[in-house]
Amino acid sequence: MEGLTVLSLAGVLLCAASFLAGLIDAISGGGGLISLPTFMAVGFPAHYIMGTSQCSTIPGCVIALIQFALKKKIHWPSAIICIPACMVGAFLGARLNIITPEHILRIIMIVLVPIVAVVVLSKHDIGAENRVDTLSPKRLVITNILIGLILGTYQGFYGAGSGTFLLLAFALADRLDLVTASGNVKAVVTFSSVVATATYVAEGLIAWDFVVAITIFNAAGAFFGARLALTKGAKVIRPMFIAVLTILFLSVAVELITNP
């Protein structure tokens, strides 16, 4: 990483991107769509990007989690079921990231994202109210194990937009309102990020010289993002959700075109 320091222009850009990523993550998930391209644009070593990015988000996740918990905007029964499954998935995904090329996932994403966007745009009542109590205990367990395993693996492997997909899963499958679904995302992502980070630490794939600075900026963004989500609710979460899906689709499309 010769010439790449926290005090360089590249370092300043990474800090700014980390703040914005923390803000977006706390509202709707998808902050990786801002931070990961910035890492690549400034010439950050490719093998260190995922590990460094994952590590820097943990304190911000904790800050947002505490704020949602204090406002009682987390449905703990579903979150507690989902967390261990997501941790397993995050470990598997991180291992896959180390040994597997990403082009196959990009092809899947270019098909999946428009479908998700159509579902969100066509269902204006998604996350309008909390109806999780209409689910049987058995369905709640099965649903959240599947959510955790599938999206935890995605988070550990690719990461970008994982919080957004979790938000949609909690709102659709668990019938949570958008604010509570967002709180559940914070609970799940906090633990899965720790597991994914530990995997990258074991492989020596974290640039520790950058972690402290970008962590501080990410945590600041997460603090303000959580406050926005809790005070504005669906009015800010839904538009941000659509924006993240749009950016995700465009970024994956560009990657497929430029790196077939």
User: In the prediction, which pLDDT does 126 show?
Assistant: 67
Max avg pLDDT among 114-118, 127-131, 184-188? 184-188
> Given a cut of 80, is residue 98 above it in pLDDT?
no
pLDDT tens, position by position, 119-156: 666 666 666 678 888 999 999 999 999 999 988 888 77
Residues 65-99, buried b or exposed e (16+ Cβ, 10 A)?
bebbeeeebbbeebbebbbbbbbbbbbbbbbbbee
Handedness of CA 52, 56, 62, 65 (dihedral sign): negative
Q: Alpha helix (H) ranges present in the chain?
A: 9-27, 32-41, 46-70, 76-99, 103-122, 137-157, 162-172, 178-202, 208-232, 234-258
Is residue 3's pLDDT more than 60? no
Is the pLDDT score of 36 beyond 90?
Answer: no
Taking only the tens place, the pLDDT of each residue in 72-93 is 999 999 999 999 998 888 788 8
